Amino acid sequence: MAEPKATQAVDPLTAMLMQNPPKDALEFRAMLDEFALAGNGTELPAIGGSIDDLKLFSAGGVDVTADIHKPKGAGPFPVLVYLHGGGWILGTPKTHRRLGFRFAEAGYVVVNLGYRLAPEFPFPAALDDCVRAVRWVVDNIAKYGGDPKRIAIGGDSAGGNLTAATAATLAGDARVKLKAALLIYAALDFANMKPEGGDLPNGANLVEMMVGSYLPKNREQLIRDWRVSPIHAAERLPPCHVMCGTADGLIADANAFAARLANAGIDHELAIYADMPHGFTQMAELFPAALDSIRRMVAFLDKRV
């Protein structure tokens, strides 16, 4: 019998969820935020500075904030608006702090956005926040050393979904000219997000926790809406770097989206990483491909932003 691949065997996120499955979306949030925060507060790259919890605006009775990570040196610098992953129900700029610092280390002012989360704020709250945040960046980022004419957007998993949907929404906005998008193991087609295969030992289902929280109403209608499934708006996007690992259930989305971009004549790059699981870019201590993937994304941005 062939032995399992080491990269898959040591995936700590899957192991944690199987050993201690969450009962609902809020417990899921608490567990994964704790898991992610553990690897984001130490051994951070050296950058010029970070402004944390900056209020951008208020929406739905809460403040929408961002952490702004600045490179060393004098600007103006190109800008990356970063949208964290977490299935639309969890995650914060702090759970993706080290990744934001890596892009700042590479010379980008990073606006690490804390958009509103479901189930408290279902669709379209997160997307509305992301769109509004990009417009805020255009109007205000010069105060923080960023160049408002050189803006890219990026995100992982659910944040990749919001990245594509935000870019598509802003495609017709004359004030906003996004130069590029990073789609990091992004959920791009809700038609593929089926509960099958997401079961945990206690009967909970991770996919349903996410989808049911984000789309509590009119799900069958909304999964065909390009604001939810941005694969239906690929032709509206700027140049895209699409990346995923072959051990990730979202690999089909990555391949299908790249094909849509090709058919639409959109400048793009597809990067597939053998045996890498979901979330690997944040696990450089386990997966050497993580840093390789970041270097490749930076190279993509440097040529287009």
pLDDT of 159 above 50: yes
Supply φ then ψ for residue 100, to 5 degrees.
-60, -40
Strands 109-114 and 77-83, sheet pairing: parallel
Nearest to 211 by CA among 85, 89, 95, 128: 89
pLDDT at 28: 83
What's the CA gap between 289 and 154, in Å, rounded?
19
**Angle at the Cα of 66 (from 51 to 52), degrees rounded to 5?**
25
HSE-up (13 A, CA, CB side) for residue 218: 8
> CA-to-CA distance for 283 and 14, rounded, in angstroms?
13
Mean per-residue pLDDT for 7-34? Answer: 73
Domain 6-302: state its class: alpha beta
pLDDT in tens, 75-99: 899 999 999 999 999 999 999 999 9
Is residue 8 predicted with pLDDT exceeding 80?
A: no
Structure-token pair, residue 216: 């509590």
Output the average pLDDT for the chain: 91
**Higher-scoring residue by pLDDT: 213, 202:** 213
Residue 268 predicted with pLDDT over 80: yes
Q: Where are the domains of the chain?
A: 6-302
220-267, pLDDT tens digit by residue? Answer: 999 999 999 999 999 999 999 999 999 999 999 999 999 999 999 999
Q: What's the pLDDT score for residue 201?
A: 56
Q: Is the dihedral of CA 30, 32, 35, 38 positive or negative?
A: negative
pLDDT for res 200: 57
**Tens digit of each residue's pLDDT (9 = 90 or more) over 114-145:** 999 999 999 999 999 999 999 999 999 999 99
**Band of pLDDT at residue 34, cut at 50, 70 and 90:** confident
What is the chain's Cα-based Rg?
18
Cα distances from 243 to residues 126, 250, 295, in angstroms, run 22, 10, 12
pLDDT band at 198 (very low <50, low <70, confident <90, very high): low
**What are the tens digits of pLDDT across the range 52-69?**
999 999 999 999 999 999
Residue type, position 260, single letter: R
Q: Give the integer Cα–Cα distance in Å for 298 and 241.
A: 10
